[in-house]
Amino acid sequence: MDEMTQLRELRADVPVPDRAALAPGRQRLTEAAASGRRVRRLRADWRVAAVGAAAAITVAAVLGTQLGGAAAPSRSGPASTAGTLRLDSPAEVLNRAADALEKQPAGPEPRDDQWIYTRTAQVASQGGPDGSSLSPVTYQPGWVPYDNSAAAENGKDDDYRTARQVYRAANELPDDPARLLTEIRAFYPTGHTAESPPEGKAQHSFRAIGLMAEAYPVSPAVLARIYRAMATIPGVRVTDHLVKDAAGREAIAITRKEDERPEQREILLDPHDFGYVGLRAVVTEDYTYELSNGRTKGPTLKFKAGQILTSEARIEAAVVDAEGQKP
């Protein structure tokens, strides 16, 4: 599929970007950014997502320095439930996070008739002549049925997962990190076509485990196992200072550079209780991206090292009894 066709399909699902109109379109846009509600597809291309956002969102932004800049580094690291934590080793951070999570109680599984409510903040790159602008922050509520079997069976992609499927698969994950990663890769398969090509094992593992870490609800003990396995994935790093999520909150960034692309995926954790709080895609080196339909050249978008391509923060998450209900 050519890039312009991909952009048209992305744009077709994105409403005119006023705050109210964006609400019903949030799921489609964030699915394109490879990280949607609990059932987001694994195979989305973050570069195409960033370009789609650039084409879809036309309002100039002034938030680049607020969200692109990191919090001032601390010599001792953030204070957390695990004590003072140095951000110099992903294994140290993730294993201490797991230790803390294992001490937290688990809640009950939602009933099949309940809903998963989330409220997120989201920004995306607009490209632009200097490669620096971001869209305005949008805050979007969303409700997904816990047992969404009807949607899974009618009109969804073959890798669609309901919230219930994710919850139960997460609970069955083994303690052994290697076996856990194998099961997560099978649960969130990689691509197998030219349009959706297969990924390397390590990248597949990191993308899939990020989807599982994002799932809500997941018990603290399960999240602890996920973090311990995440620490064993080749190429995983931790940013040596706190970063800002889409809502402007400080977060720990667990990162891995995307294979063969000048971008990295970042899974964001709360620096105090180690819960999942969001994700980002960040440029690792300057590059340009030219829009084309195969016959006619389009505009060239510039992206700079350190620039945020997409960022999404989970502000609230809860199990509720009905669509539209808030905690």
Residue 319 neighbours by CB under 8 Å, 6+ apart: 110, 114, 115, 116, 117, 146, 217
69-78, 103-112, 229-238 — which is least confidently predicted?
A: 69-78
| Mean predicted lDDT score pLDDT of the chain | 77
Q: What percent of the chain has pLDDT over 90?
A: 55
Rounded Cα–Cα distance for residues 170 and 175 (Å): 11
Give the burial class of 252: count Cβ atoms within 10 A of its Cβ; 0-12 exposed, 13-18 middle, 19 or more buried: buried
Residue 2 pLDDT exceeds 50: no
Pick the range with the lowest mean pLDDT from 66-80, 128-142, 148-162, 207-221. Answer: 66-80
Output the pLDDT for position 166: 95
What are the domain boundaries of the chain?
A: 3-320
pLDDT at residue 78, as a whole number: 60
Is 70 exceeded by the pLDDT of residue 297?
yes
> Confidence class of residue 296 from pLDDT cuts 50, 70 and 90?
confident
Question: Which residues, 6 or more positions from 140, have their beta carbon under 8 angstroms from its beta carbon?
Answer: 22, 23, 26, 119, 120, 121, 122
Instruction: Output the pLDDT for position 130.
Output: 54
Identify residue 190 by its one-letter amino acid code. Answer: T
Segment 83-104, tens digit of pLDDT: 578 899 999 999 999 999 999 9
DSSP per residue over 138-165, as a string?
EEEEEEEESS-HHHHHSS--TT---HHH
Instruction: Provide the pairing of β-strand 83-84 with 276-283.
Output: unpaired
Q: Which residues contact 306 (CB under 8 A, 6 or more apart)?
A: 68, 282, 283
- What's the whole-model pTM score? 0.76
Residues in the chain: 327
